[in-house]
Structure 1
């Protein structure tokens, strides 16, 4: 409330209200002095709205609701109804101040990031000395010292030390995250009690924080279709009202009517026909919804996407890193001779530790969990694309790969291979010295929140599809386990775009969710593209909505916000139009005077704004 009262627009409106009270109180004593105070009330309370109306008229060459209200107030003064005109200006200015306040309040969470960006970093030189440098000069590989309580100045990796980091500016989660050597830290987050050394992995302009700020700037400039439509018809509508008012003023020339009465009714019409509440039906609610999303880790490049999301009839997902965790784990390991199990695994771990491939990483992690160490020295390795890897150690020769890569496959291994592949697992046979001795299966686990999201979408009647480059067996298994409606397997990036286009032929609105470079074209083609915050730069740039914390539950939140926004917008539009029609009818029946017209008109505007602000609550 204090912030509302401190707004200049509010202050001017309240001063105008004070002059209005003075004028009313001394009217019986001195009409001329009262008129003087009425004029002061007109000027102070009406300053901001008059300025806005005239500027819009000059810049856009189109009439607007502010002009209607100014004309109505001036018209009331012309026929001696100074008090009614001043009341009109005062209430109009108060509702305008409320709208400005609500928009600023909603934008606060969106703009908050910009003020959090650190400007300097503490660079540690090779000789151990430190110096302050602007973050704009940071380069990849630089060493930075981050002290307790400071903001992390760049995206990077902790190289020494440990601390707890407040990542709420990025994820929206208030609980600090523990960071030790090897962990990633992000620009704009707050270091807790510890001091640590970090290595910069991205320049300032490429950091996740800067991307978020760019998204915020785009969002503030982007206006949804419904608001654009209202703004488009506002000018012609105002012209229509002025034409009707003009005809009313001419009617005493041909009809036996009092000009003063007709003029008064014309001024009332200017007030009640003004579409202030209609204009305020969309943006306050929309910005409030975007603000709530931003607080919960959902950044939208514009209100358009929040508005259309509720109309989505199909949601397409990438598999790896979206539906699945993108971190394969070993699910099964079998060796024909149990006595050879640990020795074979030790050799396999030795070979795979030379590779950074996700499948190799999964095998090495599995070995470490079982206490297996590298038991052999790897002399050479050779990767065979689409097949596997050949390796020679100081003790044996190995082949690790698919069935086409093996010299011979024993029946008991072939049986397991077929069974595990049907379960959607990636299966690798293990050969040592030209004898296939074992088999290992790896699977990328499904995110628990992915199952929950897909169930929620299915309950909404939304078609859920997975579009993946993986093989048919894996795609089918993952889809069934996740509860998806359908799937398309073995898709190259260009094929993903075609699949999205096929969906758009069947459905009004299609959403694509992904995280990789190969998902970017499909996300750009969809009506709404949603990217994981941990995804690639290309995916984030191509998307319309970014899940900062890469949490799929945020998609369900976005759908709920969109549905709620649509309901509130419809409530506002129906209510505001109904009030306008009711007041117009009452005016032509000569049952409405100017003060009640003002109260009815501006009251509806205030109620519409307050209803829109309900979007600030989740």
Structure 2
């Protein structure tokens, strides 16, 4: 509670204003009207100062009217005819709704500002003579060598110099399992060194680190209103001007046409001024959008503006890059065929012994597939590497070759390798193994789809969204991956400019289209999509041109974002309909002299408070349907 009041000064003024009204009521019932009036005036000034100041500044600076002006005028009008308590109550409840809006804004940005505390303000720089000097993190330059103690946050992005490091990257990846790092691998500022002290070298300026980008993206998003909020703001000035003209006209009608007394006519005008004000309508979209942006940011989904989050639920088609987006971005062994089962162990031993000396992705895939069942003590002699073709060596008294068909297959083994053609037709890479020029094994490799890709595609199809995969890969491989994940359409052999052209064509066909990618070749397509979405582990240029960044590279976040966008739309519509309905009911009730000013204040400002609280519901996480399906 203390923290709430410290961060929300308007709330303090609101509470004091409310207490003064209670004291004023005591003197009112004690037949001390003068003292009561003075106390109500004090409540009026204290509670209304912040709102009146903001309203006047906005009017003067931006040359436009706003709801704050209407509330102040209504309170002044009520007080001028002796309704001191009503005027003070109006200001108090109006001030309360404004304080709650400040609270909503603070609440929605709290999760983001906490990110700033993850990167330490000081860093330990290793001097040329080996000594350690503590300096401000912002003063670090590329190339500086740092020491990071056990249990402390890494101050800036860089490269690990120590042989080994165990890093808690949960703030970035969301994964609870620590990440093992070896010398030369990237370490991210704000993550935590869990083991002994490590050394690292700075690779980025403090303004260009991953956390700095996150903070900039969220700040941009929160300062960019949604289309609904912009639309409401655009009509606010005209609406307020209409009310200011409408109220005097109605007072004249009450007095001259309906023959009500002056006090009653003016009083009803002040009630009308209060209940016709669009406070709840103005608050229908902004707090809800801020809450939704904060919600998504906590999940590692960074929207660069409220309009992108608002519109994501309205997309009619969604396009995906293949490599690194729908797939893992590296090949894995999917099939293995051995000519003789009795020779399987020997073949695996030779494959691992030869391929572990290479850094090629295919070599790594073979080692990863068979290392657990191989004999790591086997020594292969006379090893040769024919770049682009394969590798060879001597083991078990025979010559072995591993690689492409034209390199390995020198003698006819057609009966054994018949199925290899089927693998190739499926778009898989086939690697052959020969022993003394006789093929003894072959393996099918594929850049495997991510675990959550199929479920994510199924989700969007269930929502009536057309799914397309656009890739530069060959048609056979693209068709295989497309069939596995279940996309509606596949576009293969696409260059970057062709991807952008296809996105434009899809946009013309479907209207609103999203594009998800991670590489430089995806940047033109991302820029041309209605909503461009970049994977967080992708290139900087893809992240820069995209409208949304998935920091955790989790495709399930797309479904989460879609559901959150639909929740935002639903809650915003609820707020707008509710606000307009309340305004109409209160205006009609006032015309029939059913409500008093206090009831009008409570009804009108109460509706404002309710729409703000309804918007705050978006701070609560949306159920993750994809993960729920996995658990079931």
1:286-316 deviation per Cα after TM superposition (whole angstroms, max 9, x unaligned)? 1111222222222221221211111122111
Alpha-carbon contact 1:399-1:406 (below 8 Å) kept: no
Contact kept? 1:164, 1:176, Cα under 8 Å: no
1:463 is the counterpart of 2:455: no
Please say if residues 49 and 96 of structure 1, whose CA atoms lie closer than 8 Å, have aligned partners that are also in contact: yes
TM-score after normalising by structure 2: 0.88
Q: Distance in 2 between matches of 1:159 and 1:402?
A: 40
With over 3 angstroms needed to count, the CA separation of the structure-2 counterparts of 1:364 and 1:156, relative to structure 1, is farther
For 1:3, the equivalent position in structure 2 comes to 3
Q: Does 1:61 align with 2:28?
A: no
Counterparts of 1:133 and 1:89, CA distance in 2: 50
| CA apart distance, 1:26 | 1.9
Instruction: Tell me whether 1:236 sits opposite 2:238 in the alignment.
Output: yes
Structure 1 398/204 Cα, relative in aligned 2: closer, same or farther at 3 Å? farther
Q: What's 1:385 paired with?
A: none
> Is the deviation greater in 365-374 or in 588-597?
365-374
Moved more, 177-186 or 509-518: 177-186
Q: Which segment drifts farther, 200-209 or 552-561?
A: 200-209
1-side partners of 2:524 and 2:282: how far apart?
A: 36
Q: Given the superposition, is the C-alpha separation of residues 126 and 342 from structure 1 closer, same or farther in structure 2, using an over 3 Å criterion?
A: farther
Partners of 2:87 and 2:79 lie apart in 1 by: 6
Counterpart of 1:558 in structure 2 is 561
Aligned to 2:101: 99
| Matched-pair contact (CA < 8 Å) for 1:530–1:547 | yes
Per mean C-alpha deviation after superposition, the further-off stretch among 598-607 and 513-522 is: 513-522
Equivalent residue for 1:24? 25
Residues 350 and 378 in structure 1, CA contact (< 8 A), matched pair in contact too: no
What is the CA RMSD across the aligned residues, in angstroms? Answer: 3.0
Q: What is the rounded CA distance, in whole Å, between the counterparts of 1:39 and 1:148 in structure 2?
A: 60
Q: Distance in 2 between matches of 1:360 and 1:254?
A: 93
2:575 matches 1:572: yes
Unpaired stretches in structure 1, ≥5 consecutive residues: 383-387
Do the aligned partners of 1:162 and 1:194 also contact (CA within 8 Å) in 2? no
Q: Check the 8 A contact 2:165/2:182 in 1, yes or no.
A: no
Q: Is 1:295 aligned to residue 298 of structure 2?
A: yes
Q: Tell me the equivalent position of 1:76.
A: 78
Decide whether the 8 Å contact of 1:77 with 1:85 is kept in 2: yes
CA shift in 2, pair 1:380/1:453, >3 Å = closer
Provide the C-alpha distance between the structure 1 equivalents of 2:340 and 2:594, rounded to a whole number of angstroms.
98
Alpha-carbon spacing, 1:62–1:132, altered in 2? closer, same or farther (3 Å):
same
2:624 equivalent in structure 1: none
1:375 paired with 2:380, answer: yes
What is the distance in 2 between the residues matched to 1:299 and 1:9?
30
Q: Structure 1 339/83 Cα, relative in aligned 2: closer, same or farther at 3 Å?
A: closer
Residues 276 and 587 of structure 2 are in contact (CA less than 8 Å); yes or no, is this contact kept in structure 1? Answer: yes
Q: Does 1:133 align with 2:135?
A: yes
Kindly indicate whether the alpha-carbon contact (under 8 Å) linking 1:403 and 1:429 is maintained by their aligned counterparts in 2. no
TM-score (normalizing by structure 1):
0.90
User: Residues 429-444 of structure 1 correspond to what in structure 2 (within 5 A)?
Assistant: 429=432, 439-444=442-447
Residue 268 of structure 2 is aligned to residue 268 of structure 1: no
Q: Distance in 2 between matches of 1:58 and 1:64?
A: 11
Measured in 2, the distance between the counterparts of 1:537 and 1:371 equals 42
CA contact (8 A) 2:251 2:268 kept: no
Q: Which segment drifts farther, 468-477 or 26-35? A: 26-35
8 Å Cα contact 2:401/2:408 also seen in 1: no
Match of 1:541 in 2: 544
- Distance in 2 between residues matched to 1:123 and 1:165, nearest whole Å: 19
Alpha-carbon distance change, 473 to 112 in structure 1, aligned in 2, over 3 angstroms: same
1:23-44 CA-partner distances (Å, limit 9, x unpaired): 2322353333222222211110
Q: Secondary structure at the match of 1:448?
A: coil
Quick check: 188-197 or 589-598, which moved more? 188-197
Question: 1:412: which partner in 2?
Answer: 415
Call closer, same or farther: CA 1:357–1:542 in 2, change over 3 Å: farther
SS state of the match for residue 412, structure 1?
A: coil
Q: Could you tell me how far apart the structure 2 residues matched to 1:20 and 1:204 are?
A: 51
Counterpart of 1:13 in structure 2 is 14
**Residue 112, structure 1, aligned to residue 114, structure 2:** yes
Q: Secondary structure at the residue paired with 1:487?
A: strand
CA deviation vs aligned residue, 1:553-600 (integer Å, no higher than 9, x gap)? 112211121111111111111111100011011111221211110010
Bigger shift: 2-11 or 317-326? Answer: 2-11
Which moves more between the two structures, 144-153 or 359-368?
359-368
Deviation at 1:362, TM superposition (A): 2.2
Q: Distance in 2 between matches of 1:351 and 1:172?
A: 36
State the partner residue of 2:626.
none
How far apart, in 1, do the equivalents of 2:212 and 2:435 lie?
A: 50
**Deviation at residue 134 of structure 1 after TM alignment:** 3.6
How big is the shift at 1:352?
5.8
Counterpart-to-counterpart distance in 1, 2:542 and 2:311: 20
Superposition deviation, residue 523 in structure 1: 1.4
Residue 330 of structure 2 aligns to a residue in which SS?
coil
Separation in 2 of the partners of 1:161 and 1:195? 11
Query: Is residue 389–residue 407 contact of structure 2 (8 Å, CA) maintained in 1?
Result: no
**C-alpha spacing 1:432/1:60, structure 2 compared with 1 (3 Å):** farther
Identify the range of structure 1 (328-337 vs 260-269) with the bigger mean alpha-carbon deviation.
328-337
Q: Which structure 2 segments of 5+ residues have no match?
A: 622-632
Contact 1:161 1:194 in 2 (8 A): no
CA contact (8 A) 2:351 2:402 kept: no
Q: Distance in 1 between matches of 2:411 and 2:498?
A: 36
Cα offset for 1:79?
1.4
Question: Displacement, 1:176?
Answer: 5.3
Counterparts of 1:391-402 in structure 2, within 5 Å, are 400-401=403-404
| Contact residue 165 and residue 181 of structure 2 kept, 8 A | yes
Contact 1:156 1:184 in 2 (8 A): yes
Q: Could you tell me how far 1:433 is from its partner in structure 2? A: 9.3
1:305, 1:544 within 8 Å by CA — same for their partners in 2?
yes
Q: CA deviation at 1:167?
A: 2.8
CA distance in 2, matches of 1:285, 1:155: 34
3-state SS, counterpart of residue 153 of structure 2: coil
